[in-house]
């Protein structure tokens, strides 16, 4: 096992069926005004404040109780261990990105509490101790034992890679061995009610080289669809995985399962797995995904709804589900090298995920509506607190998503100012990016190989881009550019070569498939990768739910450095409808006209809403009203 200096989100270095290989987090140094401050915020505010909360809510007490250090009853929900593990993983990724002695010390203390609670046989779950010990492995559908184990394994892998310290990974391997002996080797059928362990076991195989972990992951996936956990679509147990063609059920469960299947495919090359993943991806992105990249529209079961069932006020769109969307698309990108997966990953990251955390890094959304009357606010924590540490671990690992390598060369997926060092077929190459992305689409990249070297640079041309341009050393390239693809530039690269990528960011009005009933005659504003919303605090002269935006509205984008830690706003001219009907709920329509008045409006990025005073908000704005109908 190679540790320290090789911290990956997903390590496909030796995966035979992956097209792309990872670049260690340690090699990527972001220096921009968008991601770098957020990564610092996660390290300096979010992770420490979350540790205070997992202590005060009894999550760490549960480990001390299980080890005999403290007495009392179990505190909280039966899967609370997983929040501690996600916190450790966030801390590990943060330590990989930059040394922090205080955080290292705090993480070690937490890990010692975890491993002290492990049983002699390797079992580790603080809920199933003492009187509950006899209930172990008796309810895989509901009790999240395998889910918690998966998060322990992922935390242990990240911490070992970041620090080289082996105590937690040793404990995780002992637990994984116990699970393997109980189920696969013990001839005991089972599959988790909440998928998570599948991808964790594949990553453990990648780290250790022990094939038993890969076989155990396959064992759990192959047992789905046999009715072992009830056979319901909610648990994605209604069909064998390879027969799935529609994404259904609990959104996080469903997409975590897809992550595990994608990881498994990259190691064993089962084409039926990949075929199912493509079907599920199209089902989600073409019929069941919000414009923000959020998924899971129903409060009931935190689940996917029917095709085109995408309500706005009652959107569930759990933060964890948007995170899962990023995770799955990252894996699909590693498999294929296709930009469509990077496009969805970016969409979910900048919109669905980032809305889940306040701009000060200490409050969170569990649910992410696309319209609200001002009552939905972020919270410091939740009784079921899966989302806060989940968003912390994702944002702490962000540097690991920017670049990949292949046998042909270097792949650039996301853009941000900073530097990276990459080994390309034995040649050390340094890249430096200059850009204000996502606020501006101009990107300049300096290529600095230690010796002149021939390889390809693959630049992602986002699917949202219009009329992109690429120059090398001030000369336009003689290649066609296609939005939603990777542009391959192959040449003999010399120290100091400059690539310029120009991605114009016009303000666009996006319309929805008419089968989404709520969004008929409405538009959403998009600029670059960002979805916008109108919030009452910026528009005090009218109710933003009454805003009507003509298709020919004049709009402009403007940088506001003092607003919401610095954002580009969209401002323009529109109309406000005065269509209250004298307090009545219904009336007989006697005129086709709607009373309107001219107004100026301001829109902000969706991720930044609800950080100021409460008030109505909406993403989808009434439209398709021609100016000559106004009075």
Tokens of 201: 């076991």
- In this model, does residue 629 exceed pLDDT 60? no
Helix pair angle (251-268, 271-287), 10° resolution? 150
Correct CATH for 405-502 of 3.20.20, 1.10.1660, 2.60.40, 3.30.70: 2.60.40
Distance, first Cα to last Cα, the chain: 73
Reduced 3-state DSSP string for 499-519: EEEECCCCEEEECCCCCCHHH
Binning pLDDT at 50, 70 and 90, where does residue 311 land? very high
d(CA 185, CA 198): 17
Task: Provide CATH code, domain 21-133+150-401.
Answer: 1.50.10.10
Count CB atoms within 10 A of the CB of residue 267. Answer: 20
Instruction: Give the pLDDT of residue 627.
Output: 46
Cα–Cα dist 34/354, whole Å = 11
What are the residue ranges spanned by the domains of the chain? 21-133+150-401, 405-502, 507-629
- The predicted-structure confidence for 21-76, as pLDDT tens digits, reads as follows 999 999 999 999 999 999 999 999 999 999 999 999 999 999 999 999 999 999 99
CA atoms of 126 and 117, how far apart (whole Å) = 7
Note the pLDDT of residue 196: 98
Alpha-carbon distance of 261 to 250, in angstroms, equals 17
Q: CA 67, CA 51: separation in Å to the nearest integer? A: 20
Distance, CA of 304 to CA of 318 (rounded, Å): 11
CB 570 within 8 A of CB 549: no
Average pLDDT (580-588) is: 76
Specify the pTM. Answer: 0.97
Backbone angles phi, psi at 139, to 5 degrees: -145, 75
**pLDDT confidence bin for 586, thresholds 50/70/90:** confident
Q: What is the pLDDT of residue 578?
A: 81
pLDDT at 137 over 60: yes
Give the separation between CA 430 and CA 298, rounded to whole angstroms: 46
How far apart, in whole angstroms, are the C-alpha atoms of residue 20 and residue 332? Answer: 10
User: Is the distance from CB of 399 to CB of 30 less than 8 angstroms?
Assistant: yes
Q: Distance (Å, rounded) from C-alpha 235 to C-alpha 374?
A: 33
Distances (CA, A) of 584 to 314, 482, 544, 580: 23, 52, 20, 8
Alpha-carbon distance of 460 to 207, in angstroms, equals 29
SS3 state at 618: strand
Annotated active-site positions, please?
302, 386
Confidence of residue 594 (pLDDT cuts 50, 70, 90): confident
Segment 99-118 mean pLDDT: 97
Over the stretch 210-224, which tens digit does the pLDDT of each residue have? 999 999 999 999 999
519 burial (CB, 10 Å; 0-12 / 13-18 / 19+) is: buried
CA dist 569 and 527 (Å) reads 10
**Burial of 522 (C-beta count, 10 Å sphere; 0-12/13-18/19+):** buried
Q: Each residue of 325-341: pLDDT tens digit?
A: 999 999 999 999 999 99
From the list 363, 369, 460, the residue with the least C-alpha distance to 413 is 460
Q: What is the DSSP letter of 227?
A: S
Bond preceding residue 438 cis, omega within 30 of 0: yes
């Amino acid at each position: 096992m190679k540790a320290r200096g090789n911290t990956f989100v997903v390590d496909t270095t030796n995966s035979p069926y992956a097209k792309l290989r990872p670049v260690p987090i340690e090699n990527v140094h972001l220096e921009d005004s968008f991601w770098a401050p957020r990564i610092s915020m996660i390290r300096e505010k979010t992770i420490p404040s979350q540790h205070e909360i997992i202590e005060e809510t009894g999550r760490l007490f549960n480990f001390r109780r299980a080890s005999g250090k403290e007495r009392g009853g179990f505190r909280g929900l039966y899967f609370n261990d997983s929040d501690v593990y996600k916190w450790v993983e966030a801390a590990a990724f943060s330590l990989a990105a930059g040394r922090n002695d205080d955080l290292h010390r705090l993480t070690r203390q937490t890990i010692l509490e975890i491993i002290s609670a492990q049983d002699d046989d390797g079992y580790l779950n603080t809920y199933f101790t003492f009187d509950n010990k006899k209930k172990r492995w008796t309810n895989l559908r509901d009790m999240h034992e395998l889910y918690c184990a998966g998060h322990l394994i992922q935390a242990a892998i990240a911490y070992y890679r970041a620090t080289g310290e082996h105590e937690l990974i040793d404990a995780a391997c002992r637990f994984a061995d116990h699970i393997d002996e109980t189920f696969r080797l013990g001839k005991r059928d089972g599959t988790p009610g909440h998928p998570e362990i599948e991808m964790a076991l594949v990553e453990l195989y990648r780290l250790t080289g022990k094939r038993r972990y890969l076989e155990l992951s396959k064992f759990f996936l192959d047992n789905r669809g046999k009715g072992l956990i009830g056979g319901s679509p909610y648990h994605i147990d209604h069909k064998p995985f390879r027969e799935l063609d529609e994404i259904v059920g609990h959104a996080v469960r469903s997409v975590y399962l897809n992550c595990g299947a994608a990881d498994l495919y990259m190691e064993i090359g089962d084409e039926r797995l990949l075929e199912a993943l493509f079907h599920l991806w199209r089902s989600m992105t073409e019929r069941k995904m919000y414009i923000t990249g959020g998924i899971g529209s129903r409060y009931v079961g935190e689940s996917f709804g029917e095709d085109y069932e995408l309500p706005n006020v009652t959107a569930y769109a759990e933060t964890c589900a948007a995170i899962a969307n990023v995770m799955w698309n990252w894996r699909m990108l590693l498999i294929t090298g296709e930009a469509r997966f990077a496009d969805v990953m970016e969409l979910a990251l900048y919109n669905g995920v980032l809305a889940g955390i306040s701009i000060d890094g200490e409050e969170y959304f569990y649910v992410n509506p696309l319209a609200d009357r001002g009552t939905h606010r972020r919270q410091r924590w939740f009784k079921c607190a899966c989302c806060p540490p989940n968003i912390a671990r994702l944002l702490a690992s962000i540097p690991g998503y920017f670049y990949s390598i292949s046998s042909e060369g270097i792949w650039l997926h996301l853009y941000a100012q900073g530097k990276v060092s990459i080994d390309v077929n034995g040649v050390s190459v340094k890249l430096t990016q200059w850009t204000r992305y996502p606020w501006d689409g101009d990107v300049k990249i300096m290529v600095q190989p230690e010796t002149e070297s021939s390889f390809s640079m693959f630049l992602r041309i986002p699917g949202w881009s219009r009329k992109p341009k690429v120059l090398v050393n001030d000369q336009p390239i003689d290649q066609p550019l296609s939005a939603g693809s990777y542009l391959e530039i192959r040449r003999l690269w010399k120290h100091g070569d400059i690539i310029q990528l120009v991605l114009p960011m016009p303000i666009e009005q996006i319309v929805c498939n008419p089968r989404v009933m709520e969004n008929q005659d409405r538009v959403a504003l998009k600029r670059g990768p960002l979805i916008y919303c109108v919030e009452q605090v910026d528009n005090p002269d009218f109710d933003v739910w009454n805003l009507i935006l003509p298709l020919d509205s004049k709009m402009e984008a403007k940088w506001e450095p003092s607003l919401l830690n610095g954002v580009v706003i969209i401002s323009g001219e529109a109309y406000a409808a005065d269509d209250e009907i004298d307090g009545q709920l219904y009336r007989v329509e006697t005129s086709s006209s709607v009373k309107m008045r001219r107004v100026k409006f301001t829109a902000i990025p969706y991720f930044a809403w609800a950080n100021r005073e409460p008030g109505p908000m909406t993403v989808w704005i009434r439209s398709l009203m021609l100016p000559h109908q106004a009075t």
